[in-house]
Structure 1
Amino acid sequence: MNLRQLEVFHAVMRAGTVTGAARLLGVTQPSVSTVLKHCEAQLRIPLFRRTGGRLHPTPEAEAILPDIEAIFARLDSVGRQLRDLKGGSIGTLSLAGAYPIANGYLAAAVASFMAERPGVRVVLQALASSELLDRVASREIELGVGLEPIVHPEVETEVLVSSGVACVMRDDHPLARQEEVAIRQLDGLPIITFLPRAPLRGYVDRALSEAGIVPRISVQVSMSMTGMALAFHGAGIALVEPFLLNTFPVPGLVARRLRPGIEMKTLLIRARSAPRSAIMGHFVAHLRREVPRLLGGEATRRDTSSQAVP
């Protein structure tokens, strides 16, 4: 029996008449009769006895019915799954973020997205920028979220949000009483910031230089989390991204904006010309709504324009 014959047989078993089966299938009565006749001729066994305008299934028809019903139950399941995939209620998100982003607002946005869509499954990785780019370019990951600058011939980017490097310090530090910290107030204070090879170190050095400050850098770190831990233990003021602290508060530790600000852009990173899943489209829309809320005052503006990376 081919699929069309199975479909007609199943409809006749449900309706009990050729007319009813034709109505279920949205076809003409003669077409149902023709398919049924060819099916019985091919099988060389009768499937129905015709009495009083109704079709009565033979024992052979009753014997194969459970298996055929199972087939159509699976087809219904596939149909529901396709509708759910289109609607973004199921599927798999394959994501990666730079360390402070993945452990900060990206994790928070994934959690709230999954709360609305319990059928969604997620792979979320925290990676160094170079590894993040390689994974996206090779299409091992559908979406990356990282800090500028991003330069790779196989990826394209969109700006997700602009925010700034902040002063992270103990809440009993004298500068913690201020809503903003002027960069010149850091003169002479122990500073914790990134290693020279880190992308954001250049931003920090330039801002300090423009303020006429020769920084007293006491500790250099590779990760924002390490800088925050050092600030918590009193080693100085950490000039780092406050992403993690915004979404995963540490009692006794605060972040204060710098004046003038040290702006940085967070980028959505995708493989160039890669197909985009429906579920990822729904997640990106959710992420764009959630990030300004999660970052609060740290999110200065949002730019959704697309830019291709040369």
Structure 2
Amino acid sequence: MNLRQIEIFHAILQSGSISAAARALNVSQPNVTRVLAHAEQQLGFLLFERHAQGLSPTPEALRLMPEIEQLMRQRAGIDTLIGRLKCGEAQHLRIGAAHALGQAVLPQTLIEAHRRLPQLSIELVTSHWDTLCEDLLRQRMDLALAFGQRPPEGIDCEVLGKRALMALFPPGIIPPERIGLDQLGEAPLLMQRQDPLGERLHAAIDAAGLELRSPWLIKTYAVIAEMVAAGAGIGVVDAFTAEHYRDRLGAAVLSPEIEAEVVLVTPSRRSLSLPALRFCELLRAQLGG
């Protein structure tokens, strides 16, 4: 029996007549009669006895009933799950991010995602590039937001926006709008070394023939900002961290500009769920400007 035949057989069992089954399925009565007759012809036995009072299931039909009921319950469960998947409900989304982006960008996106998909649970983990890519490849994460660099095999990157690196100054110092690397002076310089932004910064320093003193190796831009706030020196951070600290610290765009790409990182050969796709759209809308 195919699924349509099973559906009509079940509807007749539930309603007790062909006309009632047709109304329940929103189809014509001749259509139900035709499908039932075809099913009985294929099976080689009758499913219902016809009499003046209507239909009654044959012994063979009664033997089929438990299996048919179980199948219809499973189908109802599938329909329910499809509806929930379509609405993005009852799913868990695992998101990774570079530390600065997790702090400065994703909170607003998470709030908006919850507003649109209230039943969706979201897990956010901040980490470094290599760890984010490994987690995506091992299916421990659905998508990530990071500063762009060359991805490993199996990882796709979509550029969502670009932002310039910024110099942060301790409280009480009002910097110009833009400042050259050669104008940073003799104060200790707090900067990343090993991430994509740090690599671009050091390439620019080398190209300018400068020797800028950096006594600390700090891998988190928020910590660099806190050190600047404590008076440790001048920090170089991403634009999102600078924006986060704008009420406490002065900031200036480095000149010439050193741009950082913000990328959406996803696995190459794995389809994203509908909630993940919707979350990606929120990120594009937030970072596209």
Query: Shorter-chain-normalised TM-score: which range?
Result: 0.7 to 0.9
What's the CA shift string for 1:17-56, capped at 9, x where partnerless? 31231341633324346769999x789xx8x99655x568
> Does 2:281 align with 1:282?
no
Instruction: Tell me whether 8-17 or 124-133 shows the greater mean CA deviation.
Output: 8-17
CA contact (8 A) 1:9 1:36 kept: no
Give the one of 231, 236, 240 matched to 1:239: 236
Kindly state the Cα deviation for residue 192 of structure 1 after the two structures are TM-superposed: 1.0
Select 2:287's aligned residue among 283, 286, 291. 291
Q: In structure 1, how many angstroms separate the alpha carbons of the residues matched to 2:186 and 2:192?
A: 18
Q: What is the aligned partner in structure 1 of residue 268 from structure 2? A: 272
Judge conservation of contact 2:162–2:261 (CA < 8 Å) in 1. yes
Structure 2 gap ranges (5+) = none
Q: Deviations over 1:79-138 (max 9, x none)?
A: 243144245455332221222223331343233212210122223221222212222223
Equivalent position to 1:229, from 205, 226, 231: 226
Between 1:257-266 and 1:142-151, the stretch displaced more is 142-151
Contact 1:104 1:245 in 2 (8 A): no
Which whole-Å CA distance do the structure 2 matches of 1:112 and 1:244 have between them? 21
After superposition, the C-alpha distances for 1:237-292 in whole angstroms (9 at most, x for unaligned) are 2101233454x557523543223211111222233322333332222122100124
Distance 1:167 1:8 in 2: 72
**1:16 CA drift (Å):** 4.9
Q: Which residue of 2 aligns with 1:156?
A: 156
Q: Say if 2:87 and 2:117, in contact at 8 Å, map to a contact too.
A: no
Q: Is the 8 A contact 1:84 1:90 kept in 2?
A: yes
For 1:173, the equivalent position in structure 2 comes to 172
CA distance in 2: counterparts of 1:252 and 1:210, whole angstroms: 32
Structure 2 residue identity aligned to 1:79: D
Structure 1 residues 10, 216: closer, same or farther in 2, change over 3 A? same
Bigger mean CA deviation after superposition, 10-19 or 97-106: 10-19
CA distance in 1, matches of 2:217, 2:161: 26
TM normalised by structure 2 equals 0.76
2:91 aligned counterpart, secondary structure? strand
Name the structure 2 match of 1:19: 19
Mapped to 2, the partners of 1:208 and 1:146 lie a distance apart of 23
By how many angstroms is 1:144 displaced?
A: 2.6
Say if 2:221 and 2:237, in contact at 8 Å, map to a contact too.
yes
Q: Is 2:30 the partner of 1:31?
A: no
Deviation at 1:224, TM superposition (A): 0.9
Whether the aligned pair in 1 keeps the contact of 2:5 and 2:36 (CA below 8 Å) is: no
Query: Paired residue for 1:306?
Result: none
- Whole-angstrom CA distance in 2 between matches of 1:7 and 1:254: 70
Match in the other structure for 2:190: 192
Which has the larger share of strand?
1
Task: Give the Cα separation in 2 of the matches to 1:254 and 1:191.
Answer: 15
Name the TM-score, length of structure 1 as normaliser. Answer: 0.71
Q: Which runs of 5+ in 1 are unaligned?
A: 293-300, 302-310
**Residue type of the partner of 2:112?**
S
Contact 1:194 1:222 in 2 (8 A): yes
Q: Which residue of 2 aligns with 1:305?
A: none
Larger displacement relative to structure 2 (148-157 or 108-117): 148-157
Distance 1:77 1:245, change over 3 A: farther
CA contact (8 A) 1:168 1:256 kept: yes
Question: Which one is further off, 93-102 or 25-34?
Answer: 25-34
Secondary structure of the structure 1 residue equivalent to 2:211 = coil
Instruction: Report the counterpart of residue 145 of structure 1 in structure 2.
Output: 145
